[in-house]
Chains A and B, each alone.
Chain A
């Protein structure tokens, strides 16, 4: 077998040769020396040709280059005769044309690839640039142009702002290499503390100004002086008044955030303007903003004009949006508005609860309250989001810490107590929750929670999640106050009435060499099905897509089940032999049991509610009996 390098070299050679024939014979191109291609700075190119294209306005030289992946990759087109950078959209500093996304489908016909690109993309792009027909692309793809030449390493701004109007005063924390803007001081400082810890420098913010424009700026409009900012403010309704307030409240350097709707979502830019300073003939520094007036006596309008004049320098800065709307879905996820207002309370931060909660955090849930009294052990590390560096840490506290860093715009609280104690001491937090996730797989705590929901003490829907032995099947049950309760689908001893799998007793539980140290030997990959049904049902509940008691089941692949020594239960197969292959999810209605000890009829619920008053007064043994 020839080596891959040989095969790829052969394809490259053949591809370049095909392209060469086509370009020279049909396009009148000339081949460039290979050293020309190799010296195109910052590009990995191996062969090139030059064409001259007659457009409606001019003859323009166009270089075409092949890269080492050619003919599997698209050729690269560079326009040599062009106006200065940022005069035309879709053309980089070195003349590379940024064409619309395309894929090679016929790598054995590079001539056709080049021909199609020339006629469908390259030529129309140049003509559109010449005529100015695509100038609006500077707006719709604002960041591609604004960020050009701006360093993200030396100076940048992170934004927590809600990217929409009206123009308003906002807050900025100034860092040496990175500053943060947000709506309020509290928001900005909380974000910084979440990400970097409670450092002393995160103590205060300054006023900044958000100017919301009708449309994004074109490159020619990018501010170069504070005077340009004054003009922009003047073009916005109420902009000058806002600027006057900013002149009074802000301090130099002044941070301006300029935003607009681009057509592809909102875009933000930051400009930092400096107070004008001049020196007199003696070399003494003067403050032109106060020239001719005693300190504090400059008329406000004049002060604004002087502060934001053409004499005051301004520098553009790159903006990195770090607000939830951007982080979770790049402004394109309509669910974010709902999820940003949600709180989830998690009982049980184990191998099921922690990954599901992590999915909620990544999905954009704003507030997660984590409750678990246990510490992470070495044996947990293999299937838990926390790793070896957290062995010995309380799971709930550690998860809240690492997720606060990972998602600093969101809120995470950890409580190292049992669910029972948490509810006794922090019921006010439980009542704020929009969803309670119970992943303790502990009947005692589940029953207590179920009882509180049935009684109405907890109004939020409760999602129960667990796996069957060896994680060969998983369950997620979402229950509402008004509907059937957990007990309806459970035996009084805490077994789910619908077991998907059956196990010989010796296969069901493994033991550590210690008293009562039973465990399930599943790994993180087998768990994914259970986490999937739990997270998706929880999300549907938060979004209001599921409003009635629902049971989602994950049946793992048959091979996993057989390897572990289990079988499908008769109740699960129930004559449907196609189920025996496994590897699917199923959604069922969680039905009410009319004989349910907890909710089996309004009388029973009322009786329980009125007798117990506070469910903490009812011992679990009473309920189980």
Chain B
């Protein structure tokens, strides 16, 4: 789950995927309450409803959309049910959905959707239908959808206004151009006529891959790129390298979320279970993922990475990414280990003053407690004794 808060006046928020386990919602469980972490970083609209300006679903795997039914409002805005609920129980509005066309496809044996994914698909379909009905104009926040990539058989041809084609650069968020945001759509790649290749490109492999350009503010004094690729695996990266090796700047990044939670299979076709250390890294895939800029960050969104047989996250993949980061005097960071394995907390980065920096304080920040009228009264009566402020304006004028 990645939240991007843009440096514009509105502090536009873009959420990439969502993985909120039930354990995280259980106050008696020690699992970090990531829903709370998310909520306290979101703005409220005029009616006090928390919202994200855009929600990008990279692909519909459960670990990328878990908790969406519980924590997000899916449906028309007029049916928002939580206005009278406490702050922490209000569902989060999605002003604009960003989705690959895979969500419109029927489930099949290769395309089995979990309940959260089905709910997301249903909402995306509702929004697409609304766009069709309104010929893609006059659609309000809460009903907007952006389709990242064309669907097969011209199914998205009539949705050009809400469609981003492969290789296109777009700069709109929630229907409005944004001066501090720009993104190039690198995947999902079009279906292949080669049956074997198509099998490799399907489902997990067909995640949305975006290289997102983020500026610190509308003056764009500092601009940094963030490469995110969902669970895209080795074939995708090989094809991307083949496509862009003559212009590798397209793939250059200052920070990158390792594909598929630091999986070996984003770097190699070989099975480590079968081949152990003889499993070879795909040179092309690694090249695609090595376009790190000086001082950049590679982030694994995963549990702590141990030197064991687990995959993902895979320790051997970590070593590969660390070698990429080291080559650019950069840093590899695992969210499950940050700041400590025993007490991980949200990892945050800030773009400012020419730098992309981990903002440690905010990452370690706790949620504010609730200040009730009683507490305010108590604080106020103590303060009133001190008469630290005096009513009235100046008694002297000039």
Contact = CB atoms under 8 A, between A and B. Distances in A.
Contacts of A30: 365-368
Nearest to A113: B388
Interface stretch (B55-63, B120-128, B390-398): B390-398
B388 A116 contact: yes
Contacts of B383: 111-116, 118-119
B382 A51 contact: no
B371 A115 contact: no
B92 to A, nearest CB: 14
Interface in B298-317: none
B48 A58 contact: yes
B352 interface: yes
A625 B43 CA distance: 92
B193 interface: no
A52 B9 contact: no
Contacts of A61: 44, 368
Given A33-B359, A35-B350, A82 B46 contact: yes
A581 interface: no
Quick one: which of A32, A61, A74, A100 has the most chain B CB within 10 A? A61
Nearest to A114: B383
The winner among B217, B365, B369, B384 for most chain A CB atoms within 10 A is B369
Contacts of A27: 369, 371, 375, 379
B134 interface: no
B108 interface: no
Contact of B7 (A29, A39, A52): A39
Interface in B363-380: 365-373, 375-377, 379-380
Contacts of B361: 31, 33
A81 B389 contact: no
A106 B389 CA distance: 7
Contact of A119 (B367, B370, B381): B381
Contacts of A109: 386, 388
A282 interface: no
A487 B383 CA distance: 68
B87 interface: yes
A54 interface: yes
A323 to B, nearest CB: 23
Contact of B380 (A54, A101, A116): A116
Contacts of B386: 106, 109, 112, 116
Contacts of A56: 373
A45 to B, nearest CB: 15
B389 A102 contact: yes
Interface in A74-133: 74, 80-84, 87, 100-106, 109-120, 123
Interface string A46-82: 0000111111101111000000000000100000111
B325 to A, nearest CB: 25
Contact of B86 (A33, A59, A84, A120): A59
Contacts of B217: 39
A133 to B, nearest CB: 16
A28 B393 CA distance: 31
A50 B389 contact: no
Max chain A C-beta neighbours (<10 A), residue from B361, B366, B389: B389
Given A35-B352, A61-B44, A103-B394, A118 B369 contact: no
A199 interface: no
Nearest to B88: A59
A106 B390 CA distance: 9
A82 B44 CA distance: 8
A101 B389 CA distance: 10
Contact of B390 (A29, A102, A114): A102
Interface residues of A, number: 49
A393 B390 CA distance: 53
B366 A105 contact: no
A26 interface: yes
B371 A52 contact: yes
A80 B376 contact: no
A41 interface: yes
Contact of A51 (B352, B359, B368, B394): B368
Interface in A312-350: none
B44 A81 contact: yes
B388 A101 contact: no
B contact face: mostly helix, strand, loop, or mixed: mixed
Contact of B379 (A41, A82, A83, A115): A115
A52 B388 contact: no
B388 A112 contact: yes
B369 to A, nearest CB: 2
A35 B352 CA distance: 9
B362 interface: yes
Interface in A330-386: none
Contacts of B375: 26-27
B22 to A, nearest CB: 24
A52 B87 contact: yes
B195 interface: no
A33 B7 contact: no
A120 B390 CA distance: 11
Nearest to B374: A54
Nearest to A49: B368
A112 B385 CA distance: 9
A105 B376 contact: no
Nearest to A121: B389
B302 to A, nearest CB: 26
A101 B87 contact: no
Nearest to A58: B48
A104 B365 contact: no
Nearest to A119: B380
Nearest to B353: A35
Nearest to B47: A83
B196 interface: no
Contacts of A118: 371, 376, 379-380, 383
A54 B9 contact: no
Contact of A50 (B43, B368, B380, B381): B368
A82 B49 CA distance: 10
Contacts of B110: none
Nearest to A28: B369
A54 B389 contact: no
Contacts of B394: 103
B46 A58 contact: no
A41 B10 CA distance: 11
B392 A101 contact: yes
B388 A28 contact: no
B247 interface: no
B194 interface: no
B389 A104 contact: yes
A33 B361 CA distance: 7
Nearest to B389: A102
B217, B361, B384, B386 — most chain A CB neighbours (10 Å): B386
B371 A80 contact: no
Interface string B274-302: 00000000000000000000000000000
A25 to B, nearest CB: 10
Contact of B370 (A59, A87, A123): A59
Nearest to A83: B46
A181 B205 CA distance: 71
B87 A59 contact: yes
A100 to B, nearest CB: 7
A173 B298 CA distance: 67
Contacts of A32: 362
Contact of B371 (A33, A53, A82, A113): A53
30 contacts: A27-B375, A30-B365, A30-B367, A33-B350, A33-B362, A35-B359, A39-B7, A39-B217, A51-B368, A54-B370, A55-B373, A81-B48, A83-B46, A101-B391, A101-B393, A102-B389, A103-B392, A105-B387, A105-B389, A106-B388, A109-B388, A110-B388, A112-B386, A112-B388, A113-B388, A115-B383, A116-B387, A116-B388, A117-B389, A118-B380
The 4 closest A-B pairs by CB, nearest first: A119-B380, A28-B369, A115-B383, A112-B388
Given A35-B359, A87-B46, 10 more contacts: A28-B370, A30-B365, A33-B361, A61-B368, A114-B383, A115-B380, A116-B386, A119-B380, A119-B383, A119-B384
